[in-house]
A and B are shown apart, each in its own frame.
Chain A
Amino acid sequence: MASTIKSLKAKKFLPMLSDRQNRFENGASKLPNFSDQASVIAKALHPKRQYLTVESVKDMAEDCKSYSLVPDPERGTQELAYFGAGKYLTVFETIDGMPVTRAYSISSSPKDSLNGKYVLTIKLVDGGLMSRYIFDTWKEGSKVEVSAPSGNFEYQPLRDASTVVCLAGGSGITPFISMANAVADGDEDFNMILLYGSRNSKNILFKDELDELCKKCDKIKVVLVLSEEKRAAKGTEKGFITAELIQKYAPENEPYSVFICGPQQMYAFLDAELKRLNLEKKFIRHEMFGEFHNPASQADYPEGIPETVKIKVTIQDQTYTVEGSSSDSVMQILEKNKIAVPARCRSGECGFCHSRLISGKVYVPKDLEYRRLADYKFGCIHPCCSFPLTDLEINVPVAK
């Protein structure tokens, strides 16, 4: 007999319909209760907010303090979200009615978070709004609100070399302290060569902890690089972190990764130095740039831009018109006008502030350009790194 579809019975079809409804009829009348660890993990690692209490404050150096933060169960945070070493927390504060956020790398280890502790090590920035506020107001018992751990500045064994030369400048040491502890705890597995640049021996953060880590774990090596010391003490280097210095300490005949975290001017300097080493791009990773200031200093910034601009912003069903300086980012202008904006990294990278530009023009520094291709086509911007060139009309999601 020829093979044909006719050998299948068409009359099987109608009973399917009643069968389906009958099966439903026999189901239990309650909400199903099944274990869903995938959702549990997602919620544990990415809470919307974490409500914390300052447990203690420690002076680290002149103008630098470490804040130990623990969960505040009364406001709903029972446990801290675990994280990969290198991640940051965004701190939410309201200063004089102005909603302000800043991202700070977590300096404590991932393991500490399981024991209910994060540490943020914060340097007082000249003219820095948030760091000044934290220095003045965060005391033992202060209530603090932070994001879930975020960011991509982490070691990835499938991508990075087995040795990482970490270049830290000043308070840029914070993610590396977390990484070094993670290596010592066995939570990360790589050889860490930390070149840590400070001005002088008084400015070195975590000196004792670094000594301790080197003693405890043979995968960690630390070289202090001091720019203002006249003579280098034994085991330290004087001057700046340069290509030669990296070469001196990096493994000779095997690939190595370079991770960089420090002040903005250090990135520009080190990028030029690293170029001389001809490393593959995949082996160079920067921590986020940080908030960008003074766009007019950029070579490609257009001329004749008005000093002040108006922004008409719609958030859900509310519309406001505000004024601000064209040297501030759209995000800063809104915040200075007491309008909360969704904010996380403030460096263009995370895209959390993704918004729609309805009319007007903005300038985006090219190092902070992380928009998606379709964003250009449909006029979407990241307000944290967009500087108004004209009056603007924008639509911004509600702060979260």
Chain B
Amino acid sequence: MKTYDVIVIGAGNGGLAAAATCARAGLSTLLLERHNIPGGSASSFVRGRFEFEPSLHELAGIGTPEDPGSIEQFFNRIEAEADWHKDNSTFRLIVPAKEGDTDTFVNENGVEVTIDARMPVGFENFSRKLDEIVPGSYESAMKAFDLSTRMFKAFDAIGDMSDPKKIFSILGEVPDFMRMTSHTLNEGLDALGMPKKAQDIFSTYWCYMGSPGSRFDFLYYMAVLHSYVKSGTGIPDKRSHEMSLAIDKVIRDNGGDIWYNSEVTRIIMQDGKPAGVVINGEKKVFGKRFICNSYPYVAFRDLFNIEDVPEKQLKMLNTRENAVALTTVYLGMNKTKEELGIKDYSVFIAPCSDSDEQFSLVNDYFSGYCIINCLNEIIPDCTPEGTCQLFLTSMTHGDVMRDIRPQDYKKFKTKVAKDMIETCEKALNISITPYIEEIEIALPPTFCRYLNTPLGTPYGYFLDKWDSMIPRTIQYMKDQPFDNFLFCGATQERGDGYGCAYHTGEKAGNLTVKAFKEGK
């Protein structure tokens, strides 16, 4: 039987990108996936007459035809084909008033709130809008975007570099880059003199990476916000399943093999290094190099003899914290968005405005923090006539499940979903429940089932200030377990997100290709 040049374990976004990169470079490539379809989080599912987007809120990396963003560039680079719909809004943040709040007003929905910020695309527009809501914040916001614009070039230049010396030479030229990456989001915005309330609005996207203002580094947050505000976002026409099948096709068209329902259950070691895999407990396949899209903890626990795992890897597992988890509710509605009274694609409903306070609530099964998305706002005909689909997301921690028994789970799911739906109904002053035609609820166990991650986190490791993106990037090679076995996906330098996972997969793919070229 043939020995593959590279075996990629897991067809999540990272694994797909890695396999596509290797196959396109002419390496004999085998991609193995335990599920029957590709994508991991990037997928879709059908209930009744609705097809739901399971995880994607929006892609910040689409850009415009003239100035394509990172994901569009990646798709172009590997010649994968997906159709995008553009969204020219960013977010709307609503913080409903609580008892004792003084600074309140009644918004267009007739709800008493302390914040209702519908933020536009474009740095100038965004900053001006912020200033309208919090006078005196314009200048600081523009300074932040000026920094991010300058930093973005360095950020891009680092790209998939793995040689620390090269990275340092870029950093050395931009001291502000070092300032930003070594300080938190809160410290950065304080330094720019942004009023607190404006900071709260400015920090809204912290939850996409799961790290709040006092722990998320300023540089990475600005890179994220920058990519959203610069030119808006995109959504694939046929849910994320389209993106995953598009990359699946690229891999096959370039001679790569993809085996679904093929779970790696063991790594075969030879001379202290991975040399092959056992699939579904029976079939052995050998390879020269490996790229692993699984979580290191899961891989080392399930695939290796513990004595074969480099000590540093175990130490890393004991040092790093698993990131937050999510609860999501998918609703097929038998009314249109107009009939329901929904006017925005993406509304963040927060029980309080400070990101750290919001973060402290995730240890409850439902924090009152909920994002509501209506895909029909971007793709009007994504559901049959007279209907629409809604997608609710809240953050939680996998550990909130600690006292739930399997037999309690169904009722618990319904209770969480009910709380989330009612929170949205109240905050938007609309009625949702009577019009639910289809509902599906995903809690951390659902994510465990489909993603096989510890505590159901889809976010990898907590992006803490000591374990932030740039140090992870510089030390990437140092942190890999074997010279022929690289990790990719949400546990790597950029944390979660489709673009981040594609990036780490492509990088691992390129490093693998390079190793072959250098005859290693």
Give residues in A with beta carbon < 8 Å to B. 2-13, 16-17, 19-21, 23-32, 34-46, 81-82, 84, 110, 114, 152, 156-159, 280-282, 316-317, 342, 351-354, 370-375, 377-378, 380, 397-400
Contact = CB atoms under 8 A, between A and B. Distances in A.
Nearest to B319: A27
A372 B236 CA distance: 13
Interface stretch (B61-69, B90-98, B179-187, B498-506): B179-187
B378 interface: no
B137 to A, nearest CB: 11
Across chains A and B, which 4 residue pairs bring their CB atoms closest together, nearest first? A3-B193, A27-B315, A282-B437, A38-B444
Interface size class of B (residues with CB under 8 A): 35 or more
A190 B439 CA distance: 18
A354 B35 CA distance: 10
B498 to A, nearest CB: 15
Contacts of B456: 38-39, 42
A398 B177 CA distance: 49
Interface in B293-334: 297, 300-301, 306, 309, 311-312, 314-319, 325, 334
B431 interface: no
B262 A31 contact: no
A342 B249 contact: no
Nearest to B147: A5
A110 B410 CA distance: 12
A19 B468 CA distance: 12
B439 A372 contact: no
B445 A20 contact: no
Instruction: Tell me what chain A mostly uses at the interface: helix, strand, loop, or mixed.
Output: loop
Contacts of B248: 378
A24 B319 contact: yes
Interface in B463-513: 466-468, 471, 474-475, 478
Nearest to A399: B261
Given A3-B140, A156-B414, A36 B454 contact: yes
B514 interface: no
A287 to B, nearest CB: 13
B33 to A, nearest CB: 9
30 contacts: A4-B191, A7-B191, A10-B176, A13-B181, A16-B471, A20-B471, A21-B475, A28-B315, A29-B311, A31-B314, A38-B401, A41-B401, A45-B406, A82-B406, A110-B407, A114-B407, A158-B414, A158-B436, A158-B439, A316-B259, A354-B260, A372-B46, A373-B44, A374-B242, A375-B241, A378-B249, A380-B245, A397-B261, A397-B262, A399-B261
A388 B381 CA distance: 31
Interface in B34-56: 36-37, 44-49, 51
Interface in B185-207: 187-188, 191-193
Given A37-B404, A41-B401, A398-B262, A31 B301 contact: yes
A154 to B, nearest CB: 8
B437 A374 contact: no
A96 to B, nearest CB: 23
Nearest to A85: B410
Contacts of B300: 31
A10 B178 contact: yes
A400 B36 CA distance: 9
